């Protein structure tokens, strides 16, 4: 088999991998970079399909997420300037629920702690300003003007284009069958050859546990359903009238988790209509076995929750699509060096909330691979927190 040599190989050119390739070629232009992707770049079979992702700053789960997000916003702007593509659109973000639910209480806490501009909207004002929502009498709202949406397929495609223009080599439809590392570097084997490099970055999304079998990562891949509806009153749900939104469903009316969605928007390259989904882990699956596409029964849970909380939105169904979450045991990302191989960096377990961070995670991974360290605060996402040995 032919052998080719690079400085850094990125295994998996999806969300994090494409951004890593872009950041590597942007910050470390002398490095010879190879990206290997098993499907298209971008593709609809992994975790970056579906047309839109929420971005918000008031993260409460750990204080360092906010520091990462501040850098992410800067990098999203750098991506716009370098590519001419607008992948981030500010729409504002509205989160509704009882005052003590994580979504609302946590967002308020994070906004206060980090001095983030925000509004707390009392129940009576909610009804006036956002008549689209039917929420319990004791619900309140948290509004963040800096929230919005990111276009995932356009992001992956744009990062890949910039990386290619900067000299990276990207191979689609070339799955990595195996990798190995020793003191001298790394080798990755595909059906087309063996690639050698000094460093390897593994950004394989739902396939991470398979490629990192020796680490016995407890990652649960789940099948997530996205639905698009044509509202009964479309004027209430278009950009301008509606921000990005999320409603805590509590546990009292038969649902758990958060119902969330996006305003309808002419500029959306995805399906027409109002997009809504449930943010809670779906059915566990093996990403190699799961059939892409919708099944009977996929619509009902989303329609049911939508009918209760945004009844005028729950008109005829326009589309159903599926996508994978890769859930870590604690819901936080895993970004670290491989414990046995210093030359290997891994990033996985983004647990359904990683896309907004793509532009900064790509930079942190590029730093780790090319410079051995990063100034960005990723220490709390270490692998050691799960390791039994
Ligand atoms: C329905 C849904 C809604 C979401 N909503 C939000 C949101 O609103 N906000 C937010 O911030 N995040 C959201 N997320 C989460 C976010 O999209 C993910 O966290 C992020 O896309 C994960 O990126 P990744 O690079 O780990 O995976 P991916 O984007 O899946 O990239 C991994 C890539 O590696 C490739 N690969 C795997 N194995 C191999 C191999 N052996 N050889 C070559 N290539 C390989 C795969 O084909 C894939 O392209 C959502 C996710 C889903 C599914």
10-residue averages of pLDDT along the chain (389 residues): 90 99 98 98 96 95 92 98 97 96 95 97 95 94 97 98 98 98 94 97 98 96 97 95 95 74 84 95 94 91 97 97 97 97 98 98 98 98 83
> Which ligand 1 atom minimizes the distance to the CA of 351?
19
Residue 84 burial (CB < 10 Å; 0-12/13-18/19+)?
exposed
- How high is the pLDDT of residue 252? 54
Cα distance between residue 384 and residue 131, in whole Å: 47
User: Tokens at residue 154, please?
Assistant: 């356009």
Phi-psi sector, 106: left (phi>0), alpha (psi -120 to 50), beta = alpha
Give, as one character, the DSSP assignment of residue 105. Answer: I
Token code pair at residue 93 = 């973000």
Q: Which atom of ligand 1 is nearest to the CA of 348?
A: 26
What does the block give as tokens for 63?
A: 């204080």
Q: Give the C-alpha separation, 224 to 280, whole Å.
A: 8
The pTM (predicted TM-score) of the whole model is 0.97
Tell me which CATH homologous superfamily contains domain 93-145+220-327: D-Amino Acid Oxidase, subunit A, domain 2 (3.30.9.10)
Contacts by 109-117 with C-beta closer than 8 Å and gap 24+?
Answer: 109/60, 110/58, 110/59, 110/60, 110/66, 111/58, 111/142, 111/144, 113/63, 114/57, 114/58, 114/63, 114/66, 116/57, 116/58, 116/66, 116/144, 116/146, 117/144, 117/145, 117/146
Pocket test for ligand 1, best of 193, 209, 354, 361 (most atoms within 8 A of CB): 354
Among 51, 53, 222, 290, residue to substitute to test ligand 1 (most atoms within 8 Å of Cβ): 53
Residue 259 C-alpha to ligand 1 middle, in angstroms?
20
Residue-range domain boundaries for the chain: 3-49+153-213+330-386, 93-145+220-327
52 Cα nearest atom in ligand 1? 8
pLDDT, position 389: 45
Closest atom of ligand 1 to 260 CA is 8
How far apart (Å, rounded) are the C-alpha atoms in residues 98 and 298? Answer: 27
Cα 9 to Cα 30, 47, 164, 324, 360: the distances in Å are: 14, 21, 14, 24, 19
- Identify the bridge partners of residue 256 per DSSP, sorted by sequence position: none
Instruction: Give the CA dihedral 277, 91, 57, 255, nearest 10 degrees.
Output: -20
In this prediction, residue 255 carries a pLDDT of 59
Closest of 126, 108, 106, 104 to residue 117, by C-alpha: 108
**Cβ < 6 A, ligand 1 pocket:** 11-12, 14-17, 36-39, 43, 46-48, 50, 53-54, 175-176, 203-207, 211, 224, 226, 277, 323-325, 348, 350, 352-356
Nearest-atom index, ligand 1, CA of 175: 42
Which of the listed residues 11, 13, 15 should we mutate to test ligand 1's pocket, taking the one with most ligand atoms within 8 A of CB?
A: 15
Cα–Cα distance measured from residue 189 to residue 166, given in angstroms and rounded to the nearest whole number: 25
Q: Distance between CA atoms of 344 and 347, rounded to whole angstroms?
A: 10
pLDDT at 302: 97
CB 4 within 8 A of CB 193: yes
Spatial separation of the C-alpha atoms in residues 349 and 355, rounded to whole Å: 12
User: How far is the centre of ligand 1, averaged over its atoms, from the C-alpha of 205 (Å)?
Assistant: 5
Residue 130 burial class via C-beta count within 10 angstroms: exposed 0-12, middle 13-18, buried 19 and up: buried
Q: Beta strands 93-97 and 244-248: pairing type?
A: parallel
Strands 169-171 and 33-36: parallel
Pull the structure tokens for residue 256. 């758990």
Task: Note the pLDDT of residue 149.
Answer: 97
Tell me if 351 sits within 8 A of 326, measured CB to CB: yes
C-alpha dihedral (276, 279, 281, 287), degrees to nearest 10? 50
Residue from 257, 260, 220 nearest 242 by CA: 260
Output the pLDDT for position 175: 98
For 3-49+153-213+330-386, CATH gives 3.50.50.60
Q: What is the DSSP string of 15-81?
A: HHHHHHHHHHHHH-TTS-EEEE-SS-SS-SSSSS-SS-EEE-S---S-HHHHHHHHHHHHHHHHHHH
- Nearest alpha carbon to residue 188 among 32, 28, 349, 4: 4
């Amino acid at each position: 088999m032919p052998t080719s040599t690079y400085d850094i190989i990125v295994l998996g050119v999806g969300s994090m991998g494409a951004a890593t390739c872009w950041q590597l070629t942007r910050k470390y232009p002398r490095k010879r970079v190879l990206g290997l992707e098993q499907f298209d770049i971008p593709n609809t079979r992994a975790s970056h399909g579906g047309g839109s992702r929420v971005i918000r700053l008031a993260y409460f789960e750990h204080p360092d997420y906010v520091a990462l997000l501040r850098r992410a916003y800067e990098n999203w702007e750098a991506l716009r300037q370098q590519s001419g593509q607008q992948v981030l659109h500010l729409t504002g973000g509205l989160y509704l629920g009882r005052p003590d639910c994580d979504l609302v209480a946590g967002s308020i806490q994070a906004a206060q702690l980090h001095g983030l501009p925000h509004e707390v909207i009392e129940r009576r004002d909610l009804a006036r300003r956002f008549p689209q929502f039917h929420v319990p009498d004791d619900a309140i709202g948290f509004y963040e003007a800096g929230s919005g949406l990111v276009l995932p397929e356009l992001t992956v495609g744009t990062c890949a284009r910039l990386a290619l223009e900067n000299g990276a080599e990207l191979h689609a439809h070339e799955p990595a069958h195996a990798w190995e590392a020793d003191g001298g570097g790394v080798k990755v084997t595909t059906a087309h050859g063996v690639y050698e490099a000094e460093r390897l970055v593994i950004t394989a999304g739902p396939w991470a546990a398979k490629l990192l079998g020796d680490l016995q990562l407890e990652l649960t891949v789940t099948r997530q359903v996205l639905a698009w509806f044509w509202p009964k009153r479309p004027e209430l749900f278009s950009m301008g009238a509606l921000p990005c939104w999320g409603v805590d469903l509590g546990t009292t009316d038969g649902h758990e988790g958060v119902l969330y969605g996006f305003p309808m928007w002419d500029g959306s390259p995805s399906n027409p209509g109002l997009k809504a989904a449930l943010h809670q882990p779906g059915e566990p699956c093996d990403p190699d076995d799961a059939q892409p596409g919708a099944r009977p029964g996929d619509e009902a849970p989303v329609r049911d929750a939508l009918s209760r909380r945004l009844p005028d939105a729950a008109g005829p169904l326009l589309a159903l699509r599926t996508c994978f979450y890769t859930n870590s045991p604690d819901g936080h990302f895993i970004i670290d060096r491989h414990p046995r191989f210093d030359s290997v960096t891994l990033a996985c377990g983004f647990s359904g909330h990683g896309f907004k961070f793509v532009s900064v995670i790509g930079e942190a991974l590029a730093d780790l691979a090319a410079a051995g360290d990063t100034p960005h605060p990723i220490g709390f996402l270490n692998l050691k927190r799960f390791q039994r040995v």
